[in-house]
Structure 1
Amino acid sequence: MSDQLKISAEKRSEFGKGAARRIRRAHKIPAVLYGHGTDPVHVTLPGHETLLALRHSNAVLTLDVEGDEHLALAKDVQRDPIKRSIEHVDLVIVLKGEKVTVDVAVHVEGEAAPETVVTLENNTLTVEAEATHIPASFVVSVEGLTAGTQIHADAVELPEGVTLVTDGEILVVNVTQAISEEALEAELAEAEAEAGIEHDEPEDEAAASDEAGEATASDEATGEEKSEEA
């Protein structure tokens, strides 16, 4: 379920890229708090505490904004694509008992039958849950499942109080027969042939072919010499 951590936030009046860079240099994070008909409040969050609190998606925080407390759901977390540090957070005010719609990750556990391949076709499910009771993830077991088995969204076990929003017919997990190495190579060769792809002859085979050609030419020359002598 969602973690509820208390974090102190400071209101900010500076905006724009320059202000955001200054905030990050101070090891803090710019954020905006909105929802329930209130005007957006731009705040600054402590960097380390926020990073720990937002380790998991759909984190719910108790936000202390200069003495005013709000229960807030981290709706959008923007990260640096390389450093993975948090650059900005959108926080939505929620109320205890209020239901929210969120995307929750799906994880697969267990070992399917031998010579099968397990594919996670959809790694999240959209559900409706109480803001303070959002599941951290859904677990789907594939233990012993045979090729041809398919698990759809409506077959995923949900905790009490959580309602599926995603179409129940959506395929989540697909168990298929593993293809043999020989069959895979044959399919690849056929696809390359259709695409007109030709491979250079390996050096050792090319050398052997050259040697064979030279030997044949030598034999023919020897034969011609013997014929002339005769």
Structure 2
Amino acid sequence: MADIITLKAQQRTEFGKGAARRIRSADLVPAVLYGHDVEPTHVTLDGHAVMMALKNANALLSIEIEGGETRLAVAREVQIHPIRRTYTHLDLIAVKKGEKIEAEVPLHIEGEAFSGTVVSIEDNTLAILVDPTSIPEAITVDIAGRKPGEHVYAKDIVLPAGVELVQDPEYLIVNVAAEAAEETEDEAAEGEEA
């Protein structure tokens, strides 16, 4: 479970391209906080603080809006400048403790499959339903001793307590296949003669 990261926010009153450019030139990030049947709140956040917070996958953010209101949120849509790699806009979804949300969690593959196999990782994330305060940083998938022809599907992954699978249970995560046989010298010579 990740810690709650606090970000200070200021209410935004200016909108449009010109206002967004002025906000970004001051090393701030325009953002919109919405959810839970509340009117969307337009805010600005410190650019460096946003960059540090979003280094954590599925970061749970405590947004302290100037004037006293504090809301828990997670980043849903993140826009990044294609060249400078700075954050240009955030869509934040308000969440409540005890209410489950959908999250994409990284998978960590551990162990070694049977010798003479090739392991193909088909997907490195898993869609889950979880309390926002209990989002795991990663979920471990053990492939130790797997033989050629064995697979790991989403339904085979052991999930932490309180976590539900959102992904299709038959979704292929890891494929273990036999190594391709190397041609012997005789087979190679026969191929050249033909």
TM range (shorter): 0.7 to 0.9
Is this contact kept in 2: 1:99–1:128, CA < 8 A? Answer: yes
Q: 1:23-172 residue pairs with structure 2 within 5 A?
A: 23-66=23-66, 67-172=68-173
Unaligned segments of structure 1, at least 5 residues: 187-230
- Give the partner amino acid of 2:173: V
Cα RMSD after superposing both structures:
1.8
Alpha-carbon deviation of 1:56? 2.2
Q: Given residue 164 of structure 1, which amino acid in structure 2 is its aligned partner?
A: L
Q: TM-score normalized by structure 1? A: 0.74
* 1:42 Cα deviation after fit: 0.8
Query: Residue type matched to 2:26 in 1?
Result: A
User: Could you say which residue in structure 2 is the equivalent of 1:177?
Assistant: 178
Q: Distance in 1 between matches of 2:130 and 2:75?
A: 15
Gaps of 5+ in 2: 188-194
In the aligned structure 2, how far is the partner of 1:23 from the partner of 1:32? 14
The answer on whether the counterparts of 1:58 and 1:75 sit within 8 Å (CA) in structure 2 is no
**Greater RCO (CA < 8 Å, at least 6 residues apart):** 2
Q: What's the CA shift string for 1:190-230, capped at 9, x where partnerless?
A: xxxxxxxxxxxxxxxxxxxxxxxxxxxxxxxxxxxxxxxxx
Letter in 1 for 2:141: V
Rg: which structure is higher? 1
2-side partners of 1:16 and 1:118: how far apart? 49
Query: For the residues of structure 2 that align with 1:80 and 1:129, how far apart are their CA atoms?
Result: 30
| Per-residue Cα deviation, 1:70-97 (whole angstroms, up to 9, x for no partner) | 0111112222234332221111111111
Q: Deviations over 1:101-131 (max 9, x none)?
A: 1222222122222232111112222111001
- Counterparts of 2:133 and 2:76 in 1: how far apart (Å)? 14
What amino acid does structure 2 have at the position aligned with 1:91? L
- Measure how far apart 1:44 and its partner are: 0.5
Q: Residues 175 and 94 (structure 1 numbering): CA distance in 2 closer, same or farther, change over 3 Å?
A: same
Return the alpha-carbon distance in structure 2 between the equivalents of residues 18 and 9 of structure 1: 20
Amino acid at match of 2:165: L
Separation in structure 1 between the aligned mates of residue 148 and residue 96 of structure 2, nearest angstrom: 45
- How far apart, CA to CA, are the structure 1 residues paired with 2:151 and 2:106? 18
* Residue equivalent to 2:22: 22
Counterpart amino acid of residue 55 in structure 1? K
Q: Distance in 2 between matches of 1:100 and 1:156?
A: 19
Q: Distance in 2 between matches of 1:81 and 1:137?
A: 27
Write the letter of the residue equivalent to 1:11: Q
Q: TM-score, length-normalised on structure 2?
A: 0.87
Q: Distance in 2 between matches of 1:13 and 1:85?
A: 22
Letter in 2 for 1:42: H
1:146 aligned partner, one-letter code: K
Give the SS at the match of 2:41. Answer: strand
The structure where helix makes up a greater share of residues is 1
1:32-90: CA deviations, max 9, x gaps?
Answer: 00000111111101111111111122211111001110011111222223433222111
Deviation for aligned residue 1:16:
2.2
Equivalent pairs counted in the alignment come to: 184
SS at 1:19 equivalent: helix
Query: Which secondary structure state, in structure 2, belongs to the residue aligned with residue 140 of structure 1?
Result: strand
